[in-house]
């Protein structure tokens, strides 16, 4: 089974590229800026470790036009495509998904991101998306969902994995309930830097004062603070998950020794 983790290049009328890979918001950049999608990188690594064929498909960092990105995706013919989106570009994604499903009708499209997890039925009603993850723990959700799909031909009817909304038909979107808000992050693997083509993200990034720089595998997921009004991480459901200090330090050492990283953003 081939799984694409895909980020189409989205460019507005001012020539600015949308970056949805920060997980909590979307920003449009005129100056080249490429942000590593950390949780999706962990998900890709975990699924690869489970034996799946991963197509890392970030059209932004790979400097592709939208048409080039799309034609390359069609050539790969993935069984599953995982997208991430946020509020300002949802309509773009709905249209793109319908086009993709027209060209690859057997492809299973999974939508992730904070907008769709809050309003999953909206994305299922406005596009041919098959599954919306209601979880922010994309890695934990996909490492359960993908193997289930792989071995259950009736998965749309039988899957009870928590934190999903699944399309059965155009008007039937069963909800499998709330996702687990806190996960043991030590169980999720370190990002395979070669798999995610880390070098594409190591230089064009305003967060780095020295390059090459990189983002650490999730140290704290969600937020302990929760006061920034511009950010998704606030409100009554605020929680956070933590990784052990030792596991983070071990990764930092590998990044410095194996990849010569000069700055690590965590």
Q: Cα separation of 148 and 157, whole Å?
A: 12
- Both tokens of 29, joined, read 């950049």
Q: Are residues 9 and 134 in the same domain?
A: yes
Q: Are residues 156 and 223 in the same domain?
A: no
**Has residue 188 been placed in a domain?**
no
**Has residue 180 been placed in a domain?**
no
**Has residue 173 been placed in a domain?**
no
What per-residue confidence (pLDDT) applies to 227?
A: 75
Peptide bond into 212 cis (omega under 30): yes
Q: Are residues 131 and 26 in the same domain?
A: yes
Q: Cα separation of 185 and 175, whole Å?
A: 25
Q: Are residues 222 and 131 in the same domain?
A: no
Kindly report, residue by residue over 94-116, the tens digit of the pLDDT: 999 999 999 999 999 999 998 99
Last residue of a domain, which of 102, 137, 166?
Answer: 166
Q: Are residues 115 and 230 in the same domain?
A: no
Q: Are residues 98 and 213 in the same domain?
A: no
Q: Are residues 50 and 161 in the same domain?
A: yes
Domains held by the chain: number: 2
CATH number at residue 13: 3.40.50
* Report field, pTM of the whole predicted structure over 0.85: yes
Q: Cα separation of 226 and 233, whole Å?
A: 5
What per-residue confidence (pLDDT) applies to 139?
A: 96
Q: Are residues 217 and 158 in the same domain?
A: no
Boundaries of domain holding 154: 2-166
**Has residue 236 been placed in a domain?**
yes
Are 3 and 54 a contacting pair, CB within 8 Å? yes
Short-list 171, 145, 172, CA closest to 160: 145
Kindly report, residue by residue over 120-159, the tens digit of the pLDDT: 999 999 999 999 999 889 999 999 999 999 999 999 999 9
**Has residue 186 been placed in a domain?**
no
What per-residue confidence (pLDDT) applies to 89?
A: 93
Q: Cα separation of 40 and 153, whole Å?
A: 25
- Both tokens of 235, joined, read 């409100």
Orientation angle between helical segments 66-76 and 90-103, nearest 10 degrees: 40
The residue ranges of the chain whose pLDDT is under 70 are: 23-25, 230-238
């Amino acid at each position: 089974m081939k799984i694409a983790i895909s980020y189409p290049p989205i460019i507005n009328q001012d020539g600015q590229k949308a970056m949805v890979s920060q997980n909590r918001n979307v920003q449009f950049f005129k100056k080249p800026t490429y942000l590593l999608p950390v949780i999706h990188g962990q998900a890709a690594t975990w699924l690869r470790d489970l034996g799946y064929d991963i197509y890392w498909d970030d059209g932004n960092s790979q400097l592709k036009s939208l048409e080039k990105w799309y034609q390359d995706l069609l050539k790969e013919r993935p069984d599953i495509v995982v997208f991430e989106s946020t509020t300002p570009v949802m309509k773009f994604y709905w249209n793109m998904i319908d086009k993709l499903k027209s060209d690859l009708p057997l492809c299973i499209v999974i939508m992730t991101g904070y907008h769709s997890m809050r309003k999953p039925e909206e994305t299922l009603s406005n596009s041919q998306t098959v599954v919306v993850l209601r979880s922010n723990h994309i890695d934990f959700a996909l490492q359960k969902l993908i193997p289930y799909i792989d071995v259950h031909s009736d998965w749309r009817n039988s899957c009870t994995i928590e934190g999903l909304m699944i399309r059965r038909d155009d008007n039937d979107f069963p909800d499998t309930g709330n996702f687990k808000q806190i996960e043991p992050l030590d169980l999720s693997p370190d990002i395979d830097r070669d798999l995610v083509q880390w070098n594409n993200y190591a230089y064009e990034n305003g967060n780095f004062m020295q390059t090459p720089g990189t983002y650490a595998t999730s140290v704290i997921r969600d937020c302990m603070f929760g006061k920034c009004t511009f950010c998704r991480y606030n409100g009554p459901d605020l929680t956070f998950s933590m990784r052990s200090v030792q596991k983070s330090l071990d990764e930092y050492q590998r990044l410095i020794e194996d990849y010569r990283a000069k700055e690590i953003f965590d």
